[in-house]
């Protein structure tokens, strides 16, 4: 904390301390807010000076409306441009095969002590419980080859009574194709994509 040398008021930063001390009422050489805002400091917004109580420095309602409209216009432009950048990044990651996995790693949901990844897995787990289908969070992993490397694939769920593995998937990539094509022939694997979950009224 930074304390004013005139009134001992505590400020959170050096910048706020400097600003406070300039106008501190206990400062014998304090600056006059109105004069400082309009004459000594180019570029400062007059509405800041208006905060000090000088009605001459406050914006008119028409000026406020125009500034608000301009800010909204700039905000809309920013969201459009930012949305394009996000979309391009997602599409690139999908093509690289890194989007779903990187997303899932950071989306943890605790459901009755079970660690699930994302809202779709949570919805599916609730669907299974609602229909009295016995399940566990799968821990079995299976070998597969991709890009010249040996890897391991762990489906999301295991249904006990039907001896079936379930994968909840948002985007299918080349890596996924490799996992599923090389899945053991003597094991059952069911892939549930977005449209499948919608058809089952799960999401």
For the stretch 34-54, pLDDT in tens is: 555 444 444 444 444 444 445
Q: Which residue has the tokens 């050489």?
A: 29
User: Angle at CA 23, nearest 5°, toward 22 and 28?
Assistant: 85
Three-state SS string across 35-58, please? HHHHHHCCCCCHHHHHCCCCHHHC
| Residue range 108-199 in CATH 1.10.405 | no
pLDDT tens column, 105-146: 567 889 999 999 888 999 999 999 999 999 999 999 999 999
pLDDT tens column, 72-83: 776 666 667 776
| Percentage of the chain lying above the pLDDT 70 cut | 71
- What are the residues whose beta carbons fall under 8 Å from the beta carbon of 58, sequence distance 6 or more? 46, 47, 50
Task: State whether residue 98 is helix, strand or coil.
Answer: coil
Q: Which residue has the tokens 């597969």?
A: 144
CB of 4 closer than 8 Å to CB of 23: no
At 77 the pLDDT is 66
At 134 the pLDDT is 97
DSSP 118-148: HHHHHHHHHHHHHTT--EEE----EEEEETT
At 52 the pLDDT is 47
- Highest-scoring range by mean pLDDT, 6-15, 69-78, 80-89, 173-182: 173-182
CA distance 38 to 30: 16
CA distance 155 to 139: 8
At 192 the pLDDT is 96
CA distance 91 to 59: 46
pLDDT at 193 over 50: yes
At 163 the pLDDT is 97
Q: Greater confidence, 161 or 117? A: 161
Cβ-count burial of 119 within 10 angstroms (0-12 exposed, 13-18 middle, 19+ buried)?
exposed
What region, left, alpha or beta, does residue 43 occupy, with left being phi > 0 and alpha being psi -120 to 50 degrees?
Answer: left
Phi, psi (degrees; rounded to nearest 5) at 150: -85, 125
Q: Which residue has the tokens 């000594």?
A: 40
Q: Among 187, 197, 117, 202, which Cα is nearest to 179's?
A: 187
């Amino acid at each position: 904390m930074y304390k004013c040398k005139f009134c001992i008021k505590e400020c959170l930063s050096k910048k706020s301390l400097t600003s406070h001390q300039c106008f501190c009422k206990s400062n014998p050489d304090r600056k006059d807010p109105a004069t400082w805002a309009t004459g000594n400091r180019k570029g400062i917004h007059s509405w800041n000076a208006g905060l000090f109580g000088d009605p001459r420095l406050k914006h008119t309602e028409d000026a406020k409306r125009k500034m608000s409209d301009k800010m909204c216009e700039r905000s809309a432009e920013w969201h459009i441009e930012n949305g394009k950048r996000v979309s391009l990044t997602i599409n690139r990651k999908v093509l690289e095969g890194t989007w779903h996995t990187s997303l899932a790693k950071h989306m943890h949901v605790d459901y009755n002590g079970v660690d699930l990844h994302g809202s779709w897995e949570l919805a599916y787990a609730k669907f299974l419980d609602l229909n009295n289908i016995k399940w566990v969070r799968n821990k079995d992993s299976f070998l597969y080859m991709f890009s010249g490397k040996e890897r391991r694939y762990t489906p999301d769920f295991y249904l006990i009574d039907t001896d079936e593995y379930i994968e909840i998937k948002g985007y299918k990539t080349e890596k996924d194709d490799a996992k599923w094509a090389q899945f053991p022939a003597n094991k059952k694997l069911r892939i549930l994509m977005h449209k499948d979950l919608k058809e089952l009224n799960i999401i």
